[in-house]
Amino acid sequence: MKLTYHGQSCFVIESGEHRLVIDPFLSGNPNAVAKPEDIKVQWVVLTHGHSDHVLDAETIARNNNATIIAANELAVYYASKGLNVHPMGIGGKRDFPFGRVKVTLAFHGSGVETENGLVYVGPPVGFLLTLEGKTIYHAGDTGLFGDMKILGELNTIDLALLPIGDNFTMGPDDALIAAEWLKAKKVIPMHYNTFPLIAQDGAKFVADCKARGIDAVELKIGETFEL
């Protein structure tokens, strides 16, 4: 299984014939190296409705006739645009052709920007994605919350994707605590350095993780990690 980082919170996961993109934000990301038309997937997974997570979701879904997996309200929003969707709710899980998806809490906001203003599209979420017998936790945009301890106790998390940008989400210090609570075998930081407000030192975060015995790696945009 391969995971490619496309900046902010966007990853493409490849598992056999299956391909998923999480939180596609390419056309508006000044650091992105890929374009929306470069993304070939069957599934689009969305953590919440903010533009730096869904800007290219509609384009990619239409180009690929892909199915959007998202919280119910966000899925309904995209269904109204004629797109294929699979709605889910916090705590729910579902088996898909590529593996299992379970929806987790995330503490943040969620709204889609429209010509009529910001439209609320349900709760922000995170995802536990299990493919090829391995579990990836994409935390979405979130602050630190105590139930991360429970996620670590109830799941064997092979890889945790954690925001470190601060201001809008956890910063590096809280993300380090999250990494400990989750007991993840490996951690990759995300949601940082896209804009000045979320500028962070990813290499220092990785070093701080390793100093506490937590395996971590900083992926540059366009780099691929094999799990």
| Residues 180-202: tens digit of each pLDDT | 999 999 999 999 999 999 999 99
What's the confidence (pLDDT) of residue 57? 98
Q: Judge whether residue 35 has pLDDT over 90.
A: yes
What's the confidence (pLDDT) of residue 115? 86
pTM exceeds 0.95: yes
Per-residue pLDDT, averaged over 37-65, amounts to 98
Q: Judge whether residue 30 has pLDDT over 90.
A: yes
Q: Is 158 helix (H, G, I), strand (E, B) or coil?
A: coil
What's the confidence (pLDDT) of residue 200? 98
Burial class (CB in 10 A: 0-12, 13-18, 19+), 65: exposed
Instruction: Report the C-alpha gap between 189 and 155 in whole angstroms.
Output: 20
What's the confidence (pLDDT) of residue 116? 86
Average pLDDT, the chain: 97
Q: Is residue 63 within a helix (H) or strand (E), and if so which, with residue range?
A: helix 57-64
For the chain, the helix, strand and coil percentages under 3-state DSSP, each to the nearest 5: 25, 30, 45
Confidence band (pLDDT; 50, 70, 90) for 216? very high
Rounded to a whole number of angstroms, the distance between the first and last alpha carbons of the chain is: 6
Q: What is the pLDDT of residues 134-162, one digit of tens each?
A: 999 999 999 999 999 999 999 999 999 99
Q: What is the pLDDT of residues 77-126, one digit of tens each?
A: 999 999 999 999 999 999 999 999 999 999 999 999 888 889 899 999 99
What's the confidence (pLDDT) of residue 15? 98
Which domains does the chain possess?
2-226 (3.60.15.10)
What's the confidence (pLDDT) of residue 161? 98
Percent residues over pLDDT 70 in the chain: 100
